[in-house]
Structure 1
Amino acid sequence: MPGPTRLLGCALAVATVTACAPGVADPAPPAAAPVTTTTKPAPSRPPQPVKPVTTERGRQSPGVVAAGSEAPYNYAPSAMLEGGRYRMWWCSQVRHAEPGGDDVLYAESASPDGGFAGPDGSSGLPVLSGSVHGWDGVHACDPSVLKVGGTYYMYYTGAPGDVPFGSLVGVATSPDGINWTRAAGGNPILGPANDTIRDNHYGSGQPSALFVDGWFYLLFTDTTAKAAGWNGAGQFVLRAKDPTFANQVEALGAGGWEKVADTRKPRTRSVVDAFSADWMYVDALRAFVIAHSTDAGTTLTFWNHDFATQPFPPVHVPGPWKEGPGLVRTPEGHAPISADDPCGRLSVDVMRATVTGAAGAPTDIAHFGLDLVNVPGCRTKAQAAVLNGFAVPSPENTIDLIVDGKVVRVERRSVTDRLATRILAQRPDIVDELPVVARIPAGVKAVRAPNGQTGLLVDGKLWRVGPEEVAKLNSSPVTAVTQQQWDAFDHAGNLNR
């Protein structure tokens, strides 16, 4: 089998410094502006001691979790946790996929530790290859996959061959994450800025995308950017309402977000000194975390929502690596919410190549992870959105169920057990700032719709609770109603998660 003809994610074209090299240094947090106040309001409760962010539950797969059959290299994974399944796309090369350059493979598993398999039973199914003609004619690599609404988006690096500065970024769409169609008319959506020509002739690529508050965010490498390092290292950020970045585009610059006419300029600010990075959004912090390779393993660098400050210093996920990591994320590119402590615990799991194979390229993708504890999350109502569906102890003789940023007090614990995602042992302080909109007493009347859905009637308003079982747990007498009667009730909300 012939060796690989191109390694888009690792070799970075004809660069004299390889893109697999770690970043030179972690960025220092910017100095905080002085704050002056004339009065200081008294706190509503004694201030709680601030605990340092620490790590625990370090973990590592017992072996390789993903590798294409007979593939000479496997690296640059994009990992998604969806419906209890771990789905992964990565850069590889398989003999039977034409035209013989880099291919994107796909496999899935019930565990991040494997075994990953394609829908055809193979160790990795080719789902995107070079287009034969055009800007990505030979290579398709470095996938980053999102699901927004019912559509999957894959942002990837393409190239027509071993061409200096020939690496560009494109996007494809899919209804299932397996069958892909090139979007944007088959054209690239991003190319090198050509601000500064360095010895590293890679160009632009290694994209990582996520979706936050209606915006598609794109993190990427550009060795020609003005703010890149001497070796071309650096990560730049664009955002747009349009997934193809054809309009409504903003670039992150030194002064924050700036509207730009196209995706190329300005590239005046790098958020981390690295190649081949991945990132995700942490809702409990309203912050971004960027995963990139350093001598310490995978380093996690944090930026707040506006990229103005860093919530806490970098954290490291140790272990061997040979290429940038892929974070396990939700379909929209967010951090999975901890069932144990959604405000204070952040579980970080990464997939990354661990050795250099016979072809002289990264391979043998393995799983590494750890938990961050004492994370300062849920400090604002916006951050407290992660609590939706959870229940917490109440100052009254009830359990507080969090529903869309509001509190519903439920008298019976058995009812809350059935309705809540989980009942937390500790009550986050922010819950005291959420409005109490209803109290659900035991024995309140219930009604059942023709489709079997049940609701509890409280102060003339209907709270949907799902199956009739919940009404029975609440000792609520159930009356069957017509669909017209059901629709006529004042619907307050859905308590069933």
Structure 2
Amino acid sequence: MLAASVLVGAVTACSDPAASGSAASVSVPISPVRKSTSAVPPPPPKKVTLTVDKPRESAGVVVRGVEDAPYNYAPAVLREGSRIRAWWCSQMSVAQPGGDDILHSEAPSLDGPFSTAVPVFSGSSASFDAMHVCDPSVIRVGGTYYMYYTGASRDNHANGSSIGVATSPDGITWTRANNGQAIVVPANDVIRENAYGAGQQSAVHVDGWFYLMFTDTTGRATHPNGAGQFVLRSRDPLFGKGVEALGEGGMVPVSSTTVPRTRSVVEAFSSDWMWIDAVSAFAIAHSTDAGTTITFWDKEFTRRPFDPVLIPGVWREGPGLVRTAEGHAPIHPADPCGRVSLDVLRSTVIGAANAPTDIRHFGLDAVGLRGCTTKAELSALNRYTVPSPENTADLVVGGEVIRFERRSVAKEFSRGVLAERPALVDSLPVAVRVPARAEALRSPDGEVGLLLDGKLWLVGSAEVAALNASTVKTVSEQEWSRYERRSELRP
């Protein structure tokens, strides 16, 4: 079983590699960053202490296996539109070969009800993951789902855990990538009593880079008990080329994924992470004595912009953060620049199989981010309406603003409406102005667009045009085709 059991000496599959009596530590020893001697840099911004509110907790267990599933832990959780999707580690006898399996379920909310769990990925009966697959981390980039997982060929494998990746068009039917071979194996810098190996990975996709954070109990910078989280990145989702590793001087190109692990970002096991667009920072969720601690790092891993935040409550295995498709923090609907929702699913008891189970939901909001201060961070405002300096309404779309005379029309295309205008929005160009009663055209197949500055801005329906007091004129296909069409307003 790749479950959370004590691992000293003999190793049982992909279990939590924590040694007996050691929970993941609160302390975060980090190797020093090299400093330039050529000039004195300006002092870094002060670390911000966030406040928290809206604590929440499910009334009971939200996801579990069925029939003879003896344990349930290490969930990966995605918010996709109006549904929550979860993948986690369990074992069901209907899935062969015998060993850890990855199950899937979905629900309309974090508190359920979740659909009946089904096994979607099991051991290969060959290669490094012959018997066990566990610890899924799932992201979707474009139309492809990537699942990074821990694999082991047998029980009692002694540093045999390694990391693989599979792809899917729907998150249900998976195909092993990289010819079924591991993409990350133990570095074997130091052989310790904790003989787990490499695994418990978490993936995010940021600015074209696939970032992978993972445990390696053989890493040079690993704590003596095996705890530590290391970081690789590549633009290749299989990490077969262009790989960079986090070291003392930041992210540096390396020849392979097995280079020495010289820097850990947090002393912990079974961690998860996500990218917060509004503040250009990583949030790492890891288990501590009182619950799940969220530790923050900037993009270059040179400073921690915020003090840690605690999601309190019982736990028995590492948390799974609720993330968007690419592993980002969901944008807060009411305060995208100042607030972030921190929600996790985590196991809460040790069950009859002496392994973690009973996955429940815990969460809260962290407040006081002071974000959206750079052009990159303004991506958090995409599709938000803000007041304009002309007593109209500006819709932020793709690094530009669309200025509406009628606020009610702008709301039709918005994820939310803000009462105050972030200062940096003033730097965005106005792509087009949408006056009331602008001319509207309808194509022969029913597509509707507003004719603005000689271009057709598609709006999806005649109802939106009517809200703008625009008269809709049906035109021929020939006339419709004369105009350049813009799709930024299409729902």
Length-normalised TM-score, structure 1: 0.91
**Corresponding residue to 1:155 among 148, 153, 177:** 148
Distance 2:293 2:233 in 1: 23
Can you list the C-alpha shifts for 1:143-197, whole angstroms capped at 9, x where unaligned?
1111111111111111111210010111111121111111111111110000011
Residue number in structure 1 paired with 2:428: 434
Distance 1:211 1:356 in 2: 33
Shift of 1:462: 3.0
Deviates more, 1:397-406 or 1:268-277: 397-406
Contact 1:19–1:276 (CA<8 Å) still a contact in 2? no
After TM superposition, list the pairs within 5 Å mapping 1:324-343 onto structure 2.
324-343=318-337
Amino acid at match of 1:258: V
Distance 2:268 2:441 in 1: 59
Amino acid at match of 1:384: L
Distance 1:443 1:175 in 2: 43
Distance 1:246 1:348 in 2: 33
Can you list the C-alpha shifts for 1:242-271, whole angstroms capped at 9, x where unaligned?
111111111111111111111111311101
Can you list the C-alpha shifts for 1:268-309, whole angstroms capped at 9, x where unaligned?
110111000001111111111110001121010111111111
Residue number in structure 1 paired with 2:406: 412
Distance 2:340 2:122 in 1: 35
Amino acid at match of 1:91: C
Deviates more, 1:312-321 or 1:207-216: 207-216
Contact 1:142–1:207 (CA<8 Å) still a contact in 2? yes
Residue number in structure 1 paired with 2:222: 228
Can you list the C-alpha shifts for 1:463-496, whole angstroms capped at 9, x where unaligned?
2222122221112222223334333324455223
Q: Does 1:127 align with 2:126?
A: no
Shift of 1:11: 4.4
After TM superposition, list the pairs within 5 Å mapping 1:448-463 onto structure 2.
448-463=442-457
Alpha-carbon distance change, 493 to 175 in structure 1, aligned in 2, over 3 angstroms = closer
Distance 2:401 2:167 in 1: 39
Alpha-carbon distance change, 10 to 146 in structure 1, aligned in 2, over 3 angstroms = farther
Contact 1:55–1:371 (CA<8 Å) still a contact in 2? yes
Determine helix, strand or coil for the equivalent of 1:284: helix
Distance 2:101 2:324 in 1: 24
Shift of 1:94: 1.6
**Corresponding residue to 2:89 among 88, 91, 110:** 91
Residue number in structure 2 paired with 1:47: none
Can you list the C-alpha shifts for 1:420-475, whole angstroms capped at 9, x where unaligned?
22211222222122222322211222222233222222333332222122221112
Deviates more, 1:456-465 or 1:382-391: 456-465
Distance 2:273 2:314 in 1: 19
Alpha-carbon distance change, 224 to 269 in structure 1, aligned in 2, over 3 angstroms = same
Alpha-carbon distance change, 30 to 454 in structure 1, aligned in 2, over 3 angstroms = farther
Distance 2:307 2:30 in 1: 9
Shift of 1:323: 0.5
Moved >4 Å (runs of 4+): 8-13, 27-37
Residue number in structure 1 paired with 2:105: 107
Residue number in structure 1 paired with 2:339: 345
Deviates more, 1:208-217 or 1:427-436: 427-436
Contact 2:205–2:326 (CA<8 Å) still a contact in 1? yes
Amino acid at match of 1:93: Q
Can you list the C-alpha shifts for 1:197-232, whole angstroms capped at 9, x where unaligned?
111110101111111111111110000011111111
**Corresponding residue to 1:142 among 131, 135, 138:** 135
Contact 2:385–2:396 (CA<8 Å) still a contact in 1? yes
Contact 1:337–1:386 (CA<8 Å) still a contact in 2? yes
Alpha-carbon distance change, 51 to 92 in structure 1, aligned in 2, over 3 angstroms = closer
Amino acid at match of 1:395: P
Distance 1:68 1:199 in 2: 32
Determine helix, strand or coil for the equivalent of 2:278: coil
Q: Percent identity?
A: 57
Q: Does 1:7 align with 2:23?
A: no
Give structure 2 stretches of 5+ with no counterpart.
12-16
Deviates more, 1:269-278 or 1:68-77: 68-77
Distance 1:293 1:16 in 2: 11
Shift of 1:390: 0.9
Can you list the C-alpha shifts for 1:102-135, whole angstroms capped at 9, x where unaligned?
1111111111112222xxxx3x211111112221
Q: Does 1:322 align with 2:298?
A: no
Distance 2:170 2:199 in 1: 24
Residue number in structure 2 paired with 1:274: 268
Q: CA RMSD in A?
A: 2.2
Distance 1:481 1:311 in 2: 55
Amino acid at match of 2:421: R
Give structure 1 stretches of 5+ with no counterpart.
1-5, 38-49
Residue number in structure 1 paired with 2:14: none
Determine helix, strand or coil for the equivalent of 2:459: strand
Contact 2:5–2:354 (CA<8 Å) still a contact in 1? no
Amino acid at match of 1:54: T
Q: Does 1:57 align with 2:54?
A: yes
Can you list the C-alpha shifts for 1:7-48, whole angstroms capped at 9, x where unaligned?
3555455368149722251357979995459xxxxxxxxxxx
Alpha-carbon distance change, 129 to 490 in structure 1, aligned in 2, over 3 angstroms = closer
Residue number in structure 1 paired with 2:362: 368
Q: Does 1:167 align with 2:175?
A: no
Residue number in structure 2 paired with 1:392: 386
Determine helix, strand or coil for the equivalent of 1:194: coil
**Corresponding residue to 1:23 among 15, 21, 25:** 25
Distance 2:26 2:393 in 1: 51
